[in-house]
Amino acid sequence: METRTGTLITKDAARKFLRDKGLRATAPRLAVLRVLSVAKNPLSYTQVLQHLGQMDWDPATIYRNLVKLRDAGVASVVSRAEGIDRYALAGAQADGPHHPHFLCEDCGRVACLPELTASISMDGPWAASIEKATVQLRGECPDCVERGAKAPQPSGGQGRRSLPKIRN
C-alpha cells in the first residue's frame, strides 16, 4: 500500500507549480522537482544526483535548488535518519507527515510506510509539553529480507510483527 503516486509530472505542470510558489522555473529546479515527483520514497541529495544521472549542472547547483525548493515549501525534509536529510514533495498528493518512515539498516533506503497507529501515553509534568513525536522504524526492508532468505535467518521476517518499543 503506497501512500504516494510517484507519477512523473510533465514539464509544463512542473513549471506552473513552481511559478505558483513564486519560484522561477529554471532548468535544474525543474529537474529536481521532477525527480522528487517520480520518487516513491524520500530522497537524499545524493540520491537526487543519482536519479539525475548525466547532467550539465554542477552538483552544488542541484543542492542549492533542493534547499530552495525546501525553503519555498515545495519539498520538505521528511526523514533525518542517520543524520541524512531526505526530501519529498510537500503538499496534498505528496509525502505527508502522517505516515512513518522505515530505514533499512542493510541497504540504507528510507521507505514510506502506510499509516500506523502508535500511541504514547504519559503522566506527570512532561505530558502537557509533548506536541509531536517522530516515528522512525528500522530494520531490514523486504528486498533485503528476501536477499538474506537464502542464507539461514534467525527469524522468518514474514507476516505481521508487533512493533518494538518506539524510541527517538
Q: Which of 106, 136, 139, 157 binds Zn ion (CB under 5 A)?
A: 106
107: contact with Zn ion by CB under 5 A: yes
**Type and span of the H or E element at 88:** strand 86-89
- Please report how close the Cβ of residue 133 comes to Zn ion at its closest, in angstroms: 16
- Please report how close the Cβ of residue 70 comes to Zn ion at its closest, in angstroms: 15
**Segment lying near Zn ion (by CB under 5 A), choices 17-25, 47-55, 116-124, 139-147:** 139-147
Residue 130 exposed, middle or buried by CB count within 10 Å (0-12, 13-18, 19+): exposed
**Segment lying near Zn ion (by CB under 5 A), choices 32-40, 54-62, 68-76, 110-118:** 110-118
Q: Which of 35, 66, 69, 95 binds Zn ion (CB under 5 A)?
A: 95
144: contact with Zn ion by CB under 5 A: yes
Q: Of 133, 76, 84, 134, which is closest to residue 109 (Cα–Cα)?
A: 84
Determine the Cα–Cα distance for residues 70 and 32; give it in Å rounded to an integer.
Answer: 11
Ramachandran bin of 71, using left for φ above 0, alpha for ψ from -120 to 50, beta for the remaining angles? alpha
Q: Considering only residues 32-51, where is the footprint of Zn ion by CB under 5 A?
A: none
**Segment lying near Zn ion (by CB under 5 A), choices 44-52, 94-102, 122-130, 157-165:** 94-102
SS3 110: strand
Q: Which is nearer to Zn ion, 28 or 78 (CB)?
A: 78
DSSP per-residue letters across 41-79: S-EEHHHHHHHH-S-SS-HHHHHHHHHHHHHTTSEEEEE
Residues lying near Zn ion in the complex (CB under 5 A): 95, 104, 106-107, 112, 141, 144
